[in-house]
Amino acid sequence: MAFDVQDFQEEVIRASHQTPVVVDFWAEWCGPCRILGPVLERMAAGADGRWKLAKVDTEAHPDLAAAYGIRGIPDVRLFVDGESVDGFMGALPESAIQRWLDEALPQEGDRERAAELARVEELIAKGEEEAAANALEALLEGTPGDPGLRFRLARLLVFSEPERAMTLTERLEPRGFPPEAVQAVRSLGRLFQEDPSQEEPSPGEDGTEAPHSVAAAVQLLREREFQGALEALISILREEGAKADPRVREACVAIFHHLGQDHPLVARFRGEVSRALYV
């Protein structure tokens, strides 16, 4: 099908920074999906560039369905600037879908905000995170309750200001981003707020501190040395298995959700974590 997604990151996440993308999560066996699909396709063909349609078969892409908390289908999400910002479930009639689009699609007044958010992404890509955080703070002053801005800022600050990140994510309703991503920020914030210097060192065979202590792994994580942190955490899991400090598994899960399902480190280490825990 012409609307079927081949590369979600490219066709949805990146594309939505230019044009809003309506994503239809569906499956062949789903009767309501087969009713809704042609309606969305017809509407997309007549959208005159205001939005694009992308279809995700949840049977072929269960990872994407899990990442966005899809519990039932059809589930339709609107992506803008790389985030899911609105949606509906069920096979709505065309008139109801049009009303939803009219309300959910960005309006002219949103263009400046979208441009500023795009600048934030560019700053993050360049490693200029302080400038990106300042830009988000400025946007948040105008709309302090905006959950998307609060989440973006918390995700950026959690490594340097975990207390602030925890405050930003308090009672944060996950609108436009997976709830697991919010939990990842909060898990990281809790880990970073603990004082590793207060822990009793774990002695190695020669009596010195073991190289793969939880505190050492958390310190690597705080420095964003994700590969080193995962290697240290997995080493602990291999040695201690299910008896390992609960923070070890929590840290691994938080790293995976923070980096995202498509990140190469997640693909590389997810299986190793499972094997270390259950083999």
Q: Please name the helix (run of DSSP H) or strand (run of DSSP E) that holds residue 83, with its range, or none.
A: strand 83-89
Q: Please name the helix (run of DSSP H) or strand (run of DSSP E) that holds residue 264, with its range, or none.
A: helix 264-278
Q: Is 252 a catalytic residue?
A: no
Contact 203, 209 (CB under 8 A): yes
> 21, 23, 30, 273: which is the annotated catalytic residue?
30
> 12, 13, 33, 53: which is the annotated catalytic residue?
33
Q: Provide the residue type at 202 as one letter.
A: S
Contact 230, 270 (CB under 8 A): no
Quote the CA–CA distance of 224 and 159 in Å, as a whole number. Answer: 8
Q: Which two tokens stand for residue 43?
A: 């509407």
The values of phi and psi at residue 6, to 5°, are -105, -40
What is the C-alpha radius of gyration for the chain, rounded to an integer number of angstroms? Answer: 21
Cis peptide upstream of residue 147 (ω within 30 degrees of 0):
no
Quote the CA–CA distance of 178 and 270 in Å, as a whole number. Answer: 19
Contact 104, 85 (CB under 8 A): yes
Enzyme catalytic residues: 30, 33
